[in-house]
Every structure is written in structure tokens, then in C-alpha cells.
Chains A and B, each alone.
Chain A
């Protein structure tokens, strides 16, 4: 899940308009950019889509960290294509957010000055090549759990962006799993890397779904508006239930001694992530928060002259064309 803890905004709109809007949402009609919408719906969506877009962009960094060290030409091409897809997802999502009246540059400024967040998972470091497997398998796997239902979300541009994103994400997850398979079936060193990657990414992946429902204060309005389709705990349970057999297939051990199959519920019982760590990470104290934002800031600052020159050239070109007519 690339949007966590998205605060839903209070809305002070006319009750009749609100009721008509809710009726459209309840009837599964898509809301389009020019339609009337409650101010709270618009603001909540900007926050959610913006956070999702930022997650794609910041999410390029932990994987980009391994592109220059990928072990074969095929792996290098696959990883590069995957990180490129993430930039593409960021682009569609910023475009979807723009339909709500906020520009890409404004959203970028809010990411860089800390007003907007990105998924907590990208504040963890990628330390060995096995992390490229673990990120694809677990992180993209968790993202898919959240994004598949968002294909049915009420806001048309967001739902349509999710259709394309989901197709690519499921490919990424398979690619990550293949990296994990090669590692898990490889030399003793490779198996050790694979297990270590699972150990480090398991609980951060569970945190991607956000806090437990009992502590999640923002869910009900977003669910009524069909911006959020499932509760955090529902999605987390589904993720655990699907992932445990995959880990078994790989011959890797999930780092949770309490993980057991529950015959009554037909689900796995598992240990909750350490929520203190989660709140530390989202408040800026994760292992990589400062480095990630510094890197984005540097890229933004270093690229300023290019963006300015492109605009200046386009203006000069238009002026020359006008003068020639």
C-alpha cells in the first residue's frame, strides 16, 4: 500500500449536494474531474493520490541503488525497466492529481518540505542483491493487495491509473519472486542473503497496510466515499495468507515465531508489526528518511537549470514562429 494514514478531510458542503454525491458513489458511478464533489473528497484524494505518486518516485531510489550493481545484463535490464515503470506510475498519478487542481510542481514542493509523505517502506535500506527480490516479492506484492481494489475506486482518473499500474505491478512481483527463487536455490551465500532480506523486509512490508483498524482513525469517511476499499487489517491478513505458502515454496522462514495456521478462522495468526517503529519511521526517524529526501532535493535542485532552459527555449521558439508568420 503506497498511501498510509491518509487523513480524510472534514467537509462543510450543502447537505443536499452531499447526499446526491453520496448516492452517485453508492451506485458505483465514477466521479469525473468536472463533476461537483465535496471539498473534503477533493482534498483527501489529493493527499492520497499525491502520497501514492510520491511513493512511486521515492520508491525508485532503493531499487535504483542496485541498477549499477545488477549481476547480469538480463537482471540489469529487468531492474531498470521496473524502476522506469515506477517513474511512469508517478507520472500518471501526478496527472490524476492535477485533475483535482494541484500541479506536479506544487506536489513536489510539498514532498520536499515534508508537508506530504510517502510510504514508510521506502525508508528502509536495500543492502544486498536479494533485497531486489524481496522488494519485488513483498513490497510490490503488498502494493498489489491495495491497488487491485482501487481499480474500483470512485474517482475516475485514479481508478483508470490503477488499472495500468496493477498490470505492471503484478509483473514486478513475479520478477521479484524469480530473483528470490534464484537466490534461494543458489549457493550458501545466496541463501543467506535471501533469508536476511526476508528477515529485514517482513515486518516493514506488514506495516505498509497502515495501523490496526482499532487505531485507524481516518478510514470510515474514505470508505464511504470509496477512496479506500478495504480496511488495513483485512488487507494485511490477505497478504499474510498469500505470502506464507510462497515463503515455504522458497524454503525460507518467515521471521515470526507465532505464525501459525488457525483451523477455526482458516487464516494465519501472526505477530503484529512493532507500531512504535512504524510511527518513528513515518515521523522522520526511519533508517533512510533523511537520505531519501536529500537525494530527491538534490535531483530537483540539480535539474532546475534544465527545466528553466526547456521553458525558455519553448518560449523563444514560439516567439520566433510568431515573428515569422
Chain B
């Protein structure tokens, strides 16, 4: 296995899958300002996808493009975290997921900006600017909705309880992670945990929300061994034109 390719797919697929989910809000958000902000987030993530998957395709060296990787792989070849592929559900869950992910991405991309691989460092530095802004917005929104009304507090706690068992997968430490650390490309994701915990603690406290009392973590997304049932449906929609009209140029 080419660990660098695998590592790049993880970064690209996280951005692609969350970007796609976020784009599902276009036109139906709770307020116009939120509609515009969600579209911005989705656009940033799709832009990051192009960079990560573009580099992944080069590293693979089999003549595939970023679009080939996005549109012509099936579920078991995707390497995104499970948390990012579960359905949006309500606006609360969508923003809670964004927050849990952003709180990981900011320290993670900060570390990747110092990668020994210049391409990785460059993509990370560009993405970090976006992730920093995303975290500012998602943490403020989580606080507002947690602190808002009884109903909004209940919805945000439900969202957190649902997502929590998926969040742990972000902090992996498998052979690919180890190989990236050995090569100086990236620290192991598990080393981000304490910074993440601090951010989560602060925001949840301001949002009047309780951290779930479990350390259980689902896995199977980042290594592709067992995705949720939801990813296949997402890909069926996303890939329909490329699958239905092979070889067409759009």
C-alpha cells in the first residue's frame, strides 16, 4: 500500500463528503444568511477536495484525475471519517458536526502546514485559513443554539449525543498514520486529542451542553473497512452522471 496516497485520500474524502453534505442545504437553510454561509463552507471544502485529490491522483501515478477519484470510486474505496457521511438531519446536527470537525481541522492543518512534504504543507496552509473561519462560525453557532431556547438546547444535545461516538475516529493511529509520522509528513492524528478536548470543553460549557459520558468510537471510514449505509446513497446521487454516461465530457 502507498501510505502517502492513502493519507491524501483521507484528507480529500473528508473534504469531499462533508462538502457534499453541506451543499445539500443550498436553498433550504433556516435564514438567508445561513444559506449563504453554508454555501461558503461547502465551496471551501470542494476547493480543498480538488487540491487533496488532485495531489493524490498525481502520487498514484495511474493517470486518474481528482474527478475520477471523486466520481468513479465505490464505497469501499472512500477514506472519509464516518461522522462526515451520516445525513445532515436538522440544522443543529449539521452545525454540531461542522464544529466537531473544525475543532479537529484547525490544530491538524496547523501541524500539516509544517509538513516535510511541500505540497501537503501548501494545501494545509491554504485550507487552514478557511478552517479557522469555519471554526469561529461553527463554535459561535453551537453556543448560540445551545444557549438559546429549551427546544434548541435539546436539539443540540441530541445532535451531540448522536455524533459523539463517531468523533473518536478522527484520532486514528494506524500503519498509514505511523508511516506519515515516520516520513515527517504529518503527526499521528491521535496527538490532536488534547487540543481538541480543550476546545470542545470550552465551547460545550458556553453552550450549556454536556459532554457525553462515553469514550466508545465507531471506526471503519478512514480505512474503508466498514462505512455506514448512508455513503452508498450519497454516492449514488453524486456520481449519477459520470456513471450513467461513461466517458462524456461535461
A residues whose Cβ falls under 8 Å from a Cβ of B: 57, 60-61, 64, 67-77, 80-81, 83-84, 87-88, 90-91, 94, 104, 129, 179, 182-183, 186-187, 189-190, 295, 298-299, 302-310, 312-314, 316-317
Contact = CB atoms under 8 A, between A and B. Distances in A.
Classify the interface of chain B: helix, strand, loop or mixed: helix
B249 A302 contact: no
Interface stretch (B30-38, B125-133, B158-166): B30-38
B66 A80 contact: no
A60 B249 contact: no
A71 B241 CA distance: 6
A151 B66 CA distance: 41
A56 B130 CA distance: 27
B23 A68 contact: yes
B19 to A, nearest CB: 8
B144 A313 contact: yes
Interface in B55-102: 66-67, 70-71, 90-92
Contact of A308 (B27, B71, B148, B238): B148
Contact of B149 (A72, A183, A309): A309
A83 B26 contact: yes
A96 B116 CA distance: 52
A60 B26 contact: yes
Nearest to B145: A309
B249 A307 contact: no
B39 interface: yes
B42 interface: yes
Which one of B27, B66, B90 has the greatest number of beta carbons of chain A within 10 Å?
B27
Q: Nearest 6 pairs between A and B by C-beta?
A: A303-B30, A309-B148, A309-B152, A60-B27, A84-B39, A64-B27
B147 to A, nearest CB: 5
B152 to A, nearest CB: 3
A61 B27 contact: yes
A207 B137 CA distance: 42
Nearest to A309: B148
Contacts of A304: 30
B2 interface: no
7 contacts: A57-B27, A83-B26, A90-B32, A186-B248, A306-B152, A310-B144, A313-B147
A81 B43 contact: yes
Given A68-B238, A71-B242, A87 B30 contact: no
Contacts of A187: 245, 247-248
A165 B44 CA distance: 23
B228 interface: no
Contacts, number: 149
Interface of B: 20, 23-24, 26-36, 39-40, 42-43, 46-47, 49-50, 53, 66-67, 70-71, 90-92, 143-145, 147-149, 151-152, 155, 237-238, 240-242, 245, 247-250
Contacts of B250: 71-72, 75, 129, 179, 182-183, 186
Nearest to A296: B28
B28 A80 contact: no
Given A71-B71, A88-B36, A307 B31 contact: yes
Contact of A80 (B32, B42, B149, B240): B42
B43 A91 contact: no
A90 B40 CA distance: 16
Contacts of A73: 46, 49-50, 53, 66-67, 70
Given A299-B29, A305-B152, 20 more contacts: A57-B32, A60-B26, A61-B27, A64-B27, A67-B24, A68-B23, A69-B240, A77-B43, A80-B39, A83-B26, A84-B35, A87-B32, A87-B35, A129-B241, A186-B248, A303-B91, A306-B91, A306-B145, A307-B30, A313-B147
Contacts of A91: 32-33, 36
Contacts of A80: 23, 26, 39, 42-43, 46
A70 B242 CA distance: 9
B26 A64 contact: yes
Contacts of B152: 305-306, 308-309, 312
A299 B167 CA distance: 28
Given A73-B50, A76-B46, A91-B36, A306 B31 contact: yes
Nearest to B24: A68
A183 to B, nearest CB: 8
Nearest to B246: A187
Contacts of B155: 305
Contacts of B237: 68-69
A112 to B, nearest CB: 14
B89 to A, nearest CB: 11
Nearest to B245: A189
Contact of B40 (A61, A84, A303): A84
Nearest to B69: A73
Contacts of A83: 26-27, 39
B230 to A, nearest CB: 13
A290 B141 CA distance: 33
